[in-house]
Amino acid sequence: MTGRRVLITGVGSFFGGELARRLERDDEVEHIVGLDTRRPGARLKRTELIHADIRDPKIAGLIAPTRVDTVVHNQIVRQPGPGMSPRTMHDINVIGSLQLLAACEKVDSIRTFVVRGSAGIYGAEPHAPQFFTEDMARLFPLRTRFQRDVGEIENYFETFARRHPGVTCTMLRYQPAIGAGVDTQISRYLTMPVVPTHLGFDPRLQVVHASDAVDALAVAVRNPVRGPVNVAGPGTIGVTRMVRLAGRTTLPLVGPFFGPVTSAAKRVGLPVLSEDFGRLLRHGRAVDIRRLEEEVGFSPRFTTEMALEDWVQAPARAAA
């Protein structure tokens, strides 16, 4: 039997690049194809790079000749980076996923689809179960644009999975990631000069260490299961404790001022907190990861707390 042939979208991102590097070391993976408009940050040896925009219908003609059996959809944008409008983010997420699926319709070598989705689909609600299991995706209305995007993406993949019973589609629902040197929503938040919080609220958050986030993708490629799977570091941490461990000062804001103040911060060059993230800081969210551990067979090495401590200690480690 010949080895696996894997396509990774968004290979220019940290997670895409790291996954490619990890798969390059795996002898069972015969060929790796990376699709992105950006150059990968990681140094890759045997990954074939395709320079194309995922929103472009022309990717159909580029994917078919690669004869891949596995597609890892890693290009879902969680927060608009510098110079990216919310509109572009929506386009990449929804139109990008749609074009990718359209392109894959005609590639009959595909057996596995792994998506780096988001636990954002559960939302952040005061009345929510304290641990979401995979079957609780639509307990609450999808309130923010990003949530609706994720909902849309999940719909596309469910439809695709129904139309192609021979393809195993794994929808990984990630909690926010954190890791040394990785630019994520959490790290941007914790490096603000003063950290805005909701006055009188201290919700439980859950994060996943960046290396566990990449490993989970790699394990899911080897052992895909059908349907959604939550990915997070075990345990939770209160926002206040998280900010204190990071050695920052909180700026508690009364509910109605939170939005205006954080968007004013944008004008002085501070990172923008998305609507989703704002809700997360008010009500928090945690997920159940039994399916990840028992069915996919991956147990994160870092708990939520350890992931955060690792990130806090990283600068000191680098200096030593």
Partner 1 sequence: MVGVGPALGALRLVREGLRQGLDAPEALIRGAAVLPRDTRRAVERAARRLDGDYREDEWGFDEEFADLVLPFLDFLYDRWWRVRTLGAGNVPGHGRALMVANHAGILPWDATMISMGLLREHPLPRYPRFLVLDWAFSLPWVSVAIRKVGGVAASPFNALRLLESDQLVAVFPEGVKGTGKPFRERYRLQRFGRGGFVELALRTGSSIVPVAVVGSEEIYPKLGESSPLARAIGAPFFPLTPLFPWLGPAGVVPLPSRWLIEFCEPIPTAHHGPDAADDRSLVLELSEQVRDTIQAKLLENVVRRGPAFA
Residue 226 Cβ vs partner 1, minimum distance, rounded to whole Å: 23
C-alpha 109/C-alpha 158 separation (Å) is: 19
- Tell me the H-state helices in the chain: 14-24, 59-63, 86-90, 96-105, 145-163, 185-190, 210-222, 239-245, 255-267, 275-283, 290-291, 304-319
Pick between residue 41 and residue 238 the one whose CB is nearest to partner 1. 238
Task: Record the tokens describing residue 212, joined without a space.
Answer: 């566990």
Q: Scanning the structure block, which residue is given the tokens 């909701």? A: 198
Pairing mode, if any, of strands 227-231 and 237-238? unpaired
Residue 249 Cβ vs partner 1, minimum distance, rounded to whole Å: 9
Pick between residue 21 and residue 204 the one whose CB is nearest to partner 1. 204
Residue 191 Cβ vs partner 1, minimum distance, rounded to whole Å: 16
Pick between residue 13 and residue 303 the one whose CB is nearest to partner 1. 303
> Rule CB under 8 A: which residues touch partner 1?
126-131, 133, 136, 198-202, 204, 234-238, 240-246, 255, 283, 286, 288
DSSP H or E segment with residue 254: none
Pick between residue 149 and residue 202 the one whose CB is nearest to partner 1. 202
Residue 119 Cβ vs partner 1, minimum distance, rounded to whole Å: 15
Task: Record the tokens describing residue 92, joined without a space.
Answer: 């990449």
Task: Name, in order, each residue with C-beta under 8 angstroms of 269's C-beta and a sequence gap of 6 or more.
Answer: none
Pairing mode, if any, of strands 177-178 and 168-174? unpaired
Pick between residue 86 and residue 278 the one whose CB is nearest to partner 1. 278
Residue 254 Cβ vs partner 1, minimum distance, rounded to whole Å: 9
Pick between residue 38 and residue 244 the one whose CB is nearest to partner 1. 244
